[in-house]
Structure 1
Amino acid sequence: MRPVVLGLQGTVDYLIEWDGATIEALADEYAVAVGELAAPGSVVDERSLLVTLLSFLASGRGGERHAASSEVVERFAARFRTEVALGGTSVRAALLLRRLGVPSLLHLVSRDDTVRRLLPAECASISSATEDTLDPHLIVQYREGDGARIGEVAIVAPSANRVIVADDPPASALRLAPELGDRVAEAGVFLVSGFNTIQDEGVLRERLREIREVIARMPEGGVVVYEDAGFHDQRFAPLVSRALADVVDVFGMNEDELQARRGRTLDLLDVSAVAAAVEEMKAELGQATLVVHTRHWTVVAGERAASFAAAADAGNAAAGARYLYGDDIGDAHVSSVAARERQPAARAFAAELERRLGRRARCLPAFDLHPDRPTTIGLGDTFVGGFIAELAREDAP
């Protein structure tokens, strides 16, 4: 089994489910108007946070936004029943890998008593943190049909998703631990993620320079996976693409991130629209293999698409297991999902997309799952965990 290093940051998450009655009461208290949802501004207080959430809900999209302070997050979360958990792409991937029997090493940028209490002892970690800090990420989960009445208008979610809001200075600084390079030099798989919360362009450019130096120490045959996220400042996304496309093997993203990067909304079952977006994204990335994972399908595009197809389908099954069964999943849950039928519309879509994109693309339909209470938080992170677990277990592509 190949050694796995997962970076670059973790979070303490405040998880809340949609509560229409509380949301409606807040909307009345703050006199929110439906017209405000079309173009929400920055999250500077509780009212603007509420407008942002309602805007996402109305579109059925998910994403991330920067808050002016952690106090805004804490105040809003206090109005709901809140579950505290550890999150971030690398941490959720590590937690899944642990349940699948795959060891890994986490790189963290912050610690506190919550992290020490919730991170299992089997999840080894290094950290750049020099003091304890707690800056929670608010994650609001909503399901298809959830909504609220704003004045005389009913706002209803057309599909399930989640929204993340946070002010996290350690994540925005994203300092690297001095020993990261030495640990990556012994790795077989290295996950890079977490640039999306950086607020300062100078800091971002410096961290990208540093991570390129770390990646250069990967052993021959190792696989570097970059996983995208919702950028708090979308202008920074192309900087990351340009800096990493020539040094990572896989450049991954979900449906919301693909749409944000292409600057338009996509019908995920429209072959022409998706093919155009994938081809545009692939042209931007050059040699890196593009992996886009969505609720309906996962596409792998690039010269090495066939090499990463099995890992992508393992990610599909892992994410499907979380969607169906929730957080505490293991090999049996993932295997049970992998044995299920695929979404009929996604099967037809996948066949046509592969025909359009040619031999350098594979499209894996998602599984046909219909839980009464689906889990929408952490699906992309769980996809990444399943993807990396498969890479760790197989020979180098």
Structure 2
Amino acid sequence: MILQENLHFAIKNSKISKIAVIDDAFDLPIIDNKNAGPLLELFDEETFKATAAEANITPESIDGAVVALESSQYTSEKLLSVLSALYQKFGEKFDERFNPGGIFGHQVPNLKHLAPIMRLLNTCDPKPEVVKYGSSFDDFEEAKDVGLIFIDAFLDQTVSAESAPRAKTAAKKNSLEAVTALIRSLGNNAPSVILMSSSGEVRKEAEKYRAEIQTEEKKGLVFASRFGFLEKTRLKIVGDKVGVEDDAADDLLDIFQSYQFGRSMHTALETWLSSAEKAAAAMRGDLQSLHLKDFAYLVRFRLQEEGQSLVEYLDWFFGECLVDTLGKKIDEASSSDEVVDFLNSKGAELIEGAYEGATATVADLFHRVRIESPRKIRKGGFSSRGSLYGREENDCRDHDS
């Protein structure tokens, strides 16, 4: 277990100034006829005034909450503001004086799981601005310029990893909708994302969760390089500090240490993807301008003597034209020199395992383009060659050819 200082250093160096935390632990209890009566009695007690003062609740606010309860206006802003102040105070040390009638009792497990994470963030120096959202929200103005989102995997205060499958599915859907809406609202300022759960089993579903964060056009919004998973129970409050188990510390450091690199890489990848779309559109225009005599020229003067198929030649020829067009589009939309220099030098050094050899994902990509193809082998010599990756069990090695 490591203490918070190591993580505070990484958070500071990441230069993340605003963080959003979305968790049902922030949800207030639902007020109804069953609990309104006991609340009203407590608010009327003289001893409650001293408790309210510690939570920075004014006598006028209490009077407004009493009026709301008496008139059954359970969603009144005056009532909810008093409950919110009490709930925030209760969540600090779980002092029962701020838990009127035990109304917050069902949220204690959620609060205790989240408390170390909030303590870790709130004790940073300088402290990042932390925006808190419950399971239902539609105002994204406060989250403008957020650089990192912590999101609860099951966004429903009545649901946990041990709940029935149908309930978990609905809570996960709510979680996905919430984080997707927030990320979409940020436009091009894409944040990093940490998926949270009190159950380590959710880690197995984390990658699928990431892939489902999409635009309305079903395009992914979060690259794997900017996504992580955190098991809440791996953080503990130890005295006045936060202790973090090694595996959870690694999960957090992966995001914070590589934040600047990940953000720059995100910009570079989005540039490539958007340039590829533009290049394909430009090539479509070029192809539509070709006449039959253009194809006849290729057959008569380029292919007959060489014994090449027209379709296979066009496959290679247009492919090379597309690569050329892609390069030009990338140059037109190229990132700043500062971003490029950062990615080519010190940025990669912040990534754990950066020089431990090829990863399985990279090996698979090279295998697809250099060795194994589902297509028929071309008759001509139009294909290029380069680095090859030989795959053995748990081993990816680089070979020149």
**Shorter-chain-normalised TM-score: which range?**
under 0.3
TM-score of the aligned structures, taking structure 1 as reference length: 0.27
**Which structure shows the higher strand fraction?**
1
Larger radius of gyration: 2
**Which structure shows the higher helix fraction?**
2
TM-score of the aligned structures, taking structure 2 as reference length: 0.26
User: Which gives a bigger RCO, structure 1 or 2 (Cα 8 Å, sep 6+)?
Assistant: 1
